[in-house]
C-alpha cells in the first residue's frame, strides 16, 4: 500500500490510486454530504440502522436528547438557547483531536453507530474530526477523520472496517480549477502487503457512495426536517421526505423498538404465514407501524390509562396481534376473514364486518334502510347495539379510542370525519396511512390539486390516472419515480394525502405529518389529535377546549359568548363537508346508496371473496 499524503502525529496513513477521484462539487456540497453521512452511516453499510449524535460542537446536527426534546408533547420546540445543547461527554476516549499539519480543526462530532442486528453486533462510539485546509485566504479543502473508540482491533465490530481510523480528503486547486476527493485509512499495524479484498472493496465503496450522493439533485437527504403544526393548510404542505422525517417521534426511539419487535416476533410470524402474499414485507411493515404506535402511545398516555384502539380494515391482523401481545387493548375489523386470524389465535379480537358511516345510515334511500337490508339477506339484526349492528358498524366509537387507519382504502378519507363525529368536543386521535384513492362514496376517485380546497372535486373516469404528456415509457418511469419520492405535488398519492389533511382540518382536527419508516412507497403517516387525548382513567389529558372554557366563563350577555354559541358545531361542519364532497356522487343519498351497495357486494363475495359477517358484542369495539 502506498503511503498517503495525509499526516497525523506519529501515524502512517495509506491510500491507493483507486481510492481517489476527480470531483466537480463545491465546498458547500462536500460539507452537506459529510453531515448526511454523519447521521446516516446506513448509506455506507446495510448492517447499520443509523448513527445517534451524542455531541456536535458546531450544533449543526441534533443530538438524541435534543430530538427527544423537540418531539415531546407539550414541550417547546425552541432548542436554540445555549443551555439546551449537549455538552461534550466527559471521559470518552480519543476526545483530543489528532494534529494534522497544515490543517485547522474546524469541528468535532461524537456519534454512536447502531447496528441493524444488536444481537450480533454491539454499538460503536466514534469521534469525527473535521479540519479545514487553507491556501492563503481561500479554503483549499477539508479533511474528515473518523476515529472509533476502541482499544484494539479485536474490539472492532463486523460492520466497521478493521482500521484505526478512516479519512476523507477533499482538496481544491484554485489555479487549475480542479478538485479531488480521496479516501484514506490508518491500519492497526503497518504492512507492505495489499489490503484484504473485503477492506479494498469497502474503501472503493466509501468513495463511490460519497461521489454519488454529491450528485444527488433531489435534495432528499440534504434538507432539514420541518415539524408541521395546525397553522399550515393542506395546500401549503411539502411531502418531500426530508421535510417529514422524524417530525413526531425521534428515529432512534422507534428503530430501537422496531429492532426489539423484529427479534421477538418476525421469525414466528413468517414461519406461520398462510396467506398467498409474500410474508416478510407485510410482517416487517406491520412491525414498523407497531413500533411507531407503541412509542407514540407512550408519549400520549400515562401508564395504565390507554383507552383502547380500533384497527380499520385490519387485513391479515398482524398489526393488531402485535399490539395486543404488547399489552394494548383493542380490536380490528375487516370486510372479509383472513386465514391468518385463526393461525394467530386472533378470532376473539378481529371481526368480519363492514362499516357504513352513521351519516350514510341516516340518509340512505328507503330501499336501503336497515330493515330493507335485513329483508334482502344482509346479515344484520334490527336495532343498534352500542353503535354496532351484527355484521355492520356505524363508525361511532367511545371517546378517546385511538383509530388506526393503515391502508384502509375507502375508510381513509372518512377517518378524520369519524374521529370528529365520535366525540365532537374532542375528536379521537388517529394514525392514517393513505394508500388507494377513494371518494367519500367509496368509489375509486383521483383527487386533483384543486380538490384540496373546499371546491367540489371533479369526477374522474373509472378511477384512471392521467397519462404523461408525451406518453413514452421513459417519461412514465420518471413520473412514477417522482411520485414515489413524494416530489410531485400533483401525484395521486400527494393529492390524496393532502385531501385527507384538508378534510381533517375542516372538521377541527389537529394534524401532523410524518414519514413512516416502512417498506412501502405509501409511507406518509397522518397523526391526528395527539396533543389532546382521552385517558381511560382520568378523562381528557391536555388543555381543555378553549371555546368550551369561554362558553362556561363568559356571562350570558357577553357578545363574545353569543358568538361562540353561534359558531358552527362539529356536526354542522361535517354536514356541510358531506354535502359539498358528495355532490359529485349525486348528493348525500346517492353517495350512501353507492357505499351500501358496495358493502353488499363485499358480503356476497363479489370482487373480494365471500364474507361471512358474524356479529360480536359491541362492548370491546370502543363503543359506549
Q: How many CA atoms lie within 13 A of 148 on its CB side?
A: 26
CA distance 623 to 617: 10
C-alpha cell at 142: 477539508
* Greater model confidence, 90 or 145: 145
Mean pLDDT of the chain: 78
Residue 329 has pLDDT above 90, yes or no: yes
Q: Looking at the predicted structure, is the pLDDT value of residue 239 above 60? A: yes
Task: Please give the C-alpha separations between residue 333 and each of 64, 288, 406, in angstroms, as whole numbers.
Answer: 37, 20, 12
The predicted structure's pLDDT at residue 146: 96
Confidence of residue 462 (pLDDT cuts 50, 70, 90): very low
Residue 464 — pLDDT band, cuts 50, 70, 90?
very low
Handedness of CA 559, 561, 565, 569 (dihedral sign): positive
The predicted structure's pLDDT at residue 213: 93
Q: What separation in angstroms does the CA of 238 have from each of 220, 242, 449, 476, 527?
A: 12, 9, 13, 23, 16
pLDDT value for 484:
53
pLDDT at residue 379 greater than cutoff 60: no
Confidence check: pLDDT of 4 > 80: no
Query: Cell triple for residue 344?
Result: 394467530
Confidence band of 393 (pLDDT split at 50, 70, 90): confident
SS3 track for 108-176: EEEEEEEECCCCCCCCEEEEEEEEEEEECCEEEEEEEEEEECCCCHHHCCCCCCCCCEEEEEEEEECCC
User: Average of pLDDT values for 603-614?
Assistant: 43
Q: Report the C-alpha gap between 258 and 612 in whole angstroms.
A: 35
Residue 291 has pLDDT above 60, yes or no: yes
C-alpha pair distances (Å), 144 with each of 97, 179, 225, 596: 11, 16, 25, 63
Average pLDDT for 256-263:
94
Query: 2 falls in which pLDDT band (50, 70, 90)?
Result: low
Instruction: Pull the grid cell for residue 331.
Output: 380490536
Distance of alpha carbon 473 from its chain centroid, rounded? Answer: 30
Q: Does position 387 have pLDDT exceeding 80, yes or no?
A: no
What's the rounded mean pLDDT across residues 332-349? 91
pLDDT at 136: 66
Binning pLDDT at 50, 70 and 90, where does residue 244 land? confident
Question: Which whole number is the average pLDDT over 504-532?
Answer: 90
Q: Which of 232, 225, 224 is nearest to 511 (CA)?
A: 232
- What is the mean predicted confidence (pLDDT) over 15-41? 92
Between 284 and 232, the more confident residue is 284
Q: What is the pLDDT of residue 596?
A: 86
Average pLDDT of the segment spanning 599-620: 48
pLDDT at 373 over 70: no
Do residues 440 and 413 touch, judged by C-beta distance below 8 A? yes
Cβ-count burial of 469 within 10 angstroms (0-12 exposed, 13-18 middle, 19+ buried)?
exposed
Rounded average pLDDT over 595-614 = 58
Bridge pairing between strands 330-334 and 350-352? parallel
What the block records as the C-alpha cell of 452 is 384540496
C-alpha span between 224 and 170 (Å, rounded): 24
Average pLDDT of the residues in 322-346: 93
State mean pLDDT over 316-338. Answer: 94
Separation between Cα atoms, residue 409 and residue 406, nearest integer Å: 8
Given a cut of 60, is residue 218 above it in pLDDT? no
Beta carbons of 179 and 142 less than 8 angstroms apart: no
End-to-end Cα distance, the chain: 74
Q: Which residue has cell 384543486?
A: 450
- The predicted structure's pLDDT at residue 243: 76
Locus of grid cell 376473539: 348
Task: Specify whether the CB–CB gap between 239 and 494 falls below 8 A.
Answer: yes
**3-class secondary structure, 12:** strand
Distance of alpha carbon 170 from alpha carbon 210, whole angstroms = 11
Q: pLDDT over 90 for what percent of the chain?
A: 47
- Cα 147 to Cα 108: distance, rounded to the nearest angstrom: 11
The three-class DSSP label of residue 595 is: helix
Q: pLDDT category, 64, cuts 50, 70, 90?
A: confident
Which residues does 20 contact at the CB level (< 8 Å), separation at least 6? Answer: 180, 181, 182, 183, 207
In this model, does residue 378 exceed pLDDT 80? no
| Domain range annotation of the chain | 3-76+88-214, 234-466+486-533+540-617
Instruction: Please name the CATH architecture into which domain 3-76+88-214 falls.
Output: 2-Layer Sandwich (3.30)
The crossing angle, in degrees rounded to 10, of helices 415-422 and 570-581 is 150
The more confidently predicted of residues 535 and 17 is 17
Q: What's the confidence (pLDDT) of residue 174?
A: 67
Which segment of 386-395, 417-426, 457-466 scores lowest on mean pLDDT?
A: 457-466
Q: Is residue 374 over pLDDT 80?
A: no
CB 277: neighbour CB atoms within 10 A? 9
Rounded average pLDDT over 158-170: 94
Q: pLDDT at position 611, please?
A: 34
Is residue 440 within 8 Å of 411, Cβ to Cβ? no
For the stretch 32-57, pLDDT in tens is 999 999 999 999 999 998 999 999 99
User: C-alpha grid cell for residue 378?
Assistant: 344482509
Q: Please say whether the beta carbons of 522 and 493 come within 8 A.
A: yes
How is residue 483 written as a grid cell? 411520485
Q: How far is CA 309 from CA 306, 319, 478, in A?
A: 9, 11, 40
**pLDDT tens per residue, range 418-439:** 999 999 999 999 999 999 999 9
Helix ranges (DSSP H) in 427-522:
473-484, 492-506
Confidence of residue 138 (pLDDT cuts 50, 70, 90): confident
How would DSSP label each residue in 175-242? Answer: TTTEEEEEEEEE-SS--SSPPPHHHHHHHHHHHHHHHHHHT-SS-TTTS------TTS-GGG----HH
Angle at 401 between CA 370 and CA 621, to 5 degrees: 45
5 three-class SS: strand
Q: Do the beta carbons of residue 100 and residue 81 sit within 8 Å?
A: no
- pLDDT digits 0-9 by tens, 524-566: 999 999 876 555 544 444 333 333 222 233 344 454 444 445 5
pLDDT of residue 560: 47
Q: How far is residue 610 from each of residues 336, 338, 362, 601, measured CA to CA in Å?
A: 7, 11, 27, 9
Task: Indicate the SS3 state at residue 571.
Answer: helix
pLDDT of residue 192: 63
Angle at 505 between CA 491 and CA 584, to 5 degrees: 60
Res. 412 pLDDT band, cuts 50 70 90: very high
Q: Which of 331-335, 417-421, 494-498, 608-612 has the lowest mean pLDDT?
A: 608-612
Question: Are 308 and 401 contacting, i.e. CB atoms less than 8 angstroms apart?
Answer: yes
pLDDT at 474: 58
pLDDT at 189 exceeding the cut of 60: yes
The DSSP bridge partners found for residue 355 are: 393
Amino acid at each position: 500500500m502506498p503511503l498517503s499524503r495525509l499526516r497525523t502525529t506519529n501515524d502512517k496513513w495509506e491510500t491507493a490510486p483507486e481510492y481517489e477521484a476527480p470531483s466537480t462539487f463545491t465546498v458547500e456540497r462536500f460539507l452537506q454530504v459529510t453531515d448526511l453521512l454523519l447521521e446516516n452511516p446506513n448509506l455506507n453499510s446495510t448492517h447499520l440502522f443509523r448513527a445517534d449524535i451524542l455531541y456536535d460542537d458546531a450544533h449543526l446536527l441534533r443530538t438524541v436528547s435534543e430530538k427527544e426534546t423537540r418531539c415531546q408533547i407539550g414541550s417547546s420546540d425552541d432548542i436554540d438557547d445555549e443551555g439546551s445543547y449537549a455538552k461534550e461527554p466527559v471521559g470518552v476516549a480519543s476526545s483530543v483531536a489528532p494534529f494534522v499539519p497544515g490543517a485547522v480543526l474546524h469541528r468535532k462530532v461524537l456519534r454512536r453507530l447502531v447496528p441493524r442486528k444488536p444481537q450480533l453486533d454491539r454499538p460503536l462510539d466514534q469521534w469525527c474530526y473535521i479540519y479545514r485546509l487553507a491556501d492563503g485566504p481561500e479554503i483549499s479543502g477539508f479533511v474528515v477523520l473518523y476515529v472509533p473508540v476502541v482499544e484494539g482491533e479485536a474490539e472492532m465490530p463486523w460492520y466497521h472496517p478493521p482500521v484505526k481510523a478512516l479519512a476523507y480528503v477533499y482538496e481544491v486547486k484554485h489555479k487549475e480549477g480542479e478538485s479531488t476527493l480521496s479516501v484514506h485509512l490508518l491500519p492497526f499495524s503497518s504492512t507492505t502487503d495489499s489490503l484484504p479484498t473485503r477492506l479494498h472493496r469497502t474503501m472503493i465503496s466509501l468513495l463511490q457512495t460519497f461521489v454519488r450522493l454529491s450528485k444527488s439533485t433531489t435534495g432528499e437527504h440534504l434538507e432539514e426536517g420541518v415539524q408541521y403544526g395546525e397553522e399550515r393548510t393542506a395546500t401549503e404542505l411539502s411531502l418531500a421526505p426530508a421535510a417529514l422525517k422524524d417530525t413526531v417521534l425521534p428515529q432512534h426511539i422507534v428503530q430501537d423498538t422496531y429492532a426489539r419487535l423484529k427479534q421477538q416476533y418476525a421469525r414466528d410470524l413468517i414461519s406461520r404465514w398462510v396467506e398467498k402474499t409474500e410474508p416478510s414485507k407485510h410482517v416487517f411493515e406491520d412491525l414498523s407501524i407497531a413500533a411507531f404506535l407503541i412509542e407514540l402511545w407512550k408519549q400520549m398516555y400515562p401508564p395504565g390509562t390507554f383507552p383502547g384502539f380500533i384497527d380499520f380494515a385490519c387485513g391479515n391482523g398482524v398489526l393488531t396481534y402485535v399490539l395486543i401481545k404488547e399489552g394494548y387493548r383493542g380490536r380490528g375489523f375487516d370486510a372479509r376473514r383472513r386465514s391468518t386470524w385463526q393461525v394467530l389465535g386472533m378470532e376473539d379480537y378481529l371481526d368480519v364486518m363492514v362499516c357504513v358511516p352513521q351519516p350514510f345510515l341516516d340518509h340512505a334511500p328507503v330501499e336501503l334502510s336497515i330493515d330493507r337490508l335485513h329483508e334482502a339477506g344482509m346479515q344484520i339484526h334490527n336495532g343498534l347495539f352500542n353503535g354496532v349492528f351484527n355484521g355492520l358498524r356505524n363508525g361511532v366509537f367511545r371517546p378517546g379510542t385511538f383509530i388506526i387507519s393503515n391502508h384502509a382504502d375507502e375508510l381513509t378519507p372518512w377517518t378524520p370525519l369519524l374521529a370528529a363525529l365520535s366525540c365532537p368536543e374532542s375528536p379521537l386521535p388517529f394514525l392514517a396511512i393513505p394508500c388507494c384513492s377513494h371518494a367519500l362514496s367509496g368509489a375509486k376517485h383521483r383527487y386533483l390539486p384543486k380538490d384540496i380546497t373546499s371546491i367540489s372535486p371533479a369526477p374522474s373516469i373509472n378511477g384512471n390516472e392521467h397519462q404523461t404528456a408525451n406518453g413514452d415509457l421513459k417519461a412514465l418511469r420518471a413520473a412514477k419515480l417522482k411520485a414515489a419520492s413524494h416530489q410531485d405535488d400533483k401525484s395521486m398519492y400527494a393529492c390524496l394525502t393532502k385531501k385527507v389533511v384538508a378534510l381533517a382540518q375542516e372538521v377541527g382536527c389537529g394534524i401532523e405529518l410524518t414519514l413512516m419508516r416502512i417498506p412501502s412507497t405509501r409511507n406518509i403517516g397522518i397523526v391526528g389529535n395527539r396533543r389532546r387525548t382521552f385517558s381511560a382513567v382520568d378523562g381528557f389529558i391536555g388543555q381543555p377546549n378553549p371555546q368550551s372554557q369561554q362558553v362556561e366563563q363568559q356571562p350570558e350577555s357577553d357578545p363574545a359568548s353569543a358568538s361562540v354559541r353561534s359558531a358552527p358545531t362539529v356536526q354542522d361542519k361535517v354536514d356541510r363537508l358531506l354535502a359539498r364532497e358528495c355532490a359529485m356522487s349525486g348528493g348525500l343519498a346517492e353517495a350512501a346508496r353507492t357505499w351500501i351497495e358496495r358493502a353488499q357486494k363485499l358480503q356476497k363475495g363479489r370482487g373480494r371473496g365471500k364474507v361471512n359477517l358474524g356479529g360480536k358484542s359491541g362492548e370491546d369495539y370502543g363503543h359506549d
